[in-house]
Amino acid sequence: MDYVAGIQVIEVISTIFYTFLGVTLMWGVWKVIDWMTPFSIVREIEKDQNVALAILIGLLFVAVSIIIAAVILS
């Protein structure tokens, strides 16, 4: 019960805000990547079964999310 009493409303609000900020930034990064490539990434991964591209995009999102988290925490 002490854990619940220690949670403040401002912490919950800031967590929700930074979650939406991070998701919005990740969506923006996806749109920029999709705009910069000369082919459709989604079609390349889904229809052509390009596993290497899927792994590359996944790792890119992991790297960008670590950068966004570091910026938000600083």
Instruction: Give the CA dihedral 49, 50, 56, 61, nearest 10 degrees.
Output: -30
> pLDDT value at position 73?
80
> pLDDT value at position 55?
95
Cβ-contact 26, 65 below 8 angstroms: yes
Domain edges within the chain: 2-73
Model confidence band, residue 46 (pLDDT cutoffs 50, 70, 90): very high
Helices (H), 1-74: 2-6, 9-36, 41-46, 51-73
> pLDDT value at position 25?
87
Mean pLDDT value across residues 23-51? 90
